[in-house]
């Protein structure tokens, strides 16, 4: 658990979204869409974050952090500066991408921008039809564009806690997306509501993982 990576560069995409580029020996790390790394945020605590981009040869990787201000991880990351050293584990977890399915739908929030960025080049390379949906705070609305994401819709938080609103989304009004892959990540309640609508409609393959929940520490 000793520090194994160093902060090369930090930047704020918005006051709440911080991008950090790290350097370290990642030659043996295995990167899969949906995998996450644990970051040591105190003597005893660890939090999950996703690598958004990496270059194995140069030993460089980037993570997009939501600086929400409510937890120890968020505060620790906010304070990180160039040359700081810390411990980040290799990626591991749940895969959420199947390259054999033509249509790919992705739902997430600020915590999911990193996995969306990691997924985008694969969606383009493998000629998928794809659509990103992000629920974002007003102040982060322009972040997907600033990060270079494509084919996305943004909408205010709480819409995705409303089953009726989800059912009325344009993509559910055609048969075209019936057999799509649905990757649902981010807030637990939003993910659960989305999942319920999809299950009720018996639509597609669902990969879902809650990334955070109000009142719960470190999922």
| Minimum distance from residue 63 beta carbon to ligand FAD (Å) | 6
User: How far is it, in rounded angstroms, from Cα 208 to Cα 31?
Assistant: 18
| Minimum distance from residue 112 beta carbon to ligand FAD (Å) | 7
Going by C-alpha positions, the residue among 25, 97, 79, 44 that lies closest to residue 218 is 44
Q: Which tokens go with 115?
A: 């996995």
Select from 24, 33, 50, 133 the one that contacts ligand FAD (CB under 6 A): 50
Q: Does 91 bind ligand FAD (CB under 6 A)?
A: no
Q: Considering the complex, state which of residue 50 and residue 203 has its C-beta at the smaller distance from ligand FAD.
A: 50
CA distance to 39, 40, 61, 193, per residue, from 44 (Å): 11, 8, 24, 33
Q: Does 108 bind ligand FAD (CB under 6 A)?
A: no
Please check whether residue 6 is in contact with residue 181, taking contact to mean a CB–CB distance below 8 angstroms: no
Q: Which tokens go with 194?
A: 């989305």
Q: Does 66 bind ligand FAD (CB under 6 A)?
A: yes
Q: Considering the complex, state which of residue 3 and residue 218 has its C-beta at the smaller distance from ligand FAD.
A: 218
Q: Which of residues 135-174 bind ligand FAD (CB under 6 A)?
A: none
Select from 3, 121, 156, 218 the one that contacts ligand FAD (CB under 6 A): 218
| Minimum distance from residue 91 beta carbon to ligand FAD (Å) | 10
By CB atoms closer than 10 A (0-12, 13-18, 19+), residue 23 is middle
| Minimum distance from residue 48 beta carbon to ligand FAD (Å) | 4
DSSP annotation of 88 reads B
Reduced to 3 states (helix: H, G, I; strand: E, B; else coil), residue 25 is: coil
Q: Does 211 bind ligand FAD (CB under 6 A)?
A: yes
Interface with ligand FAD by CB under 6 A: which residues? 36, 47-50, 63-66, 68, 70-74, 93, 110-111, 114, 209, 211-212, 214-219
């Amino acid at each position: 658990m000793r520090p194994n990576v160093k902060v090369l560069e930090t930047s704020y995409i918005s006051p709440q979204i911080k991008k950090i580029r790290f350097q370290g020996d990642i030659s043996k790390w295995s990167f899969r869409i949906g995998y996450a790394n644990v970051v040591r945020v105190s003597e005893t605590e660890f939090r999950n974050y996703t690598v958004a981009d990496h270059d194995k040869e140069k030993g460089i990787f980037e993570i997009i952090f939501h600086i929400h201000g409510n937890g120890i991880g968020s505060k620790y990351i906010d304070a990180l500066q160039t040359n700081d050293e810390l411990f980040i584990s290799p990626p591991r977890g749940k895969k959420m991408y199947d390259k054999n399915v033509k249509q790919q739908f992705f739902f997430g929030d600020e915590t999911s921008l990193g996995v969306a960025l990691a997924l985008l080049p694969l969606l383009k390379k493998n000629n998928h039809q794809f659509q990103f949906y992000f629920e974002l705070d007003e102040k982060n609305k322009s972040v997907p564009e600033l990060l270079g994401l494509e084919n996305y819709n943004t909408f205010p938080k709480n819409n995705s806690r409303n089953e009726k609103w989800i059912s009325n989304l344009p993509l559910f009004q055609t048969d075209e997306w019936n057999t799509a892959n649905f990757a649902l990540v981010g807030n637990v309640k939003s993910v659960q509501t989305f999942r319920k609508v999809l299950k009720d409609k018996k639509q597609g393959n669902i990969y879902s993982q809650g990334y955070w929940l109000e009142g719960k520490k470190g999922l």
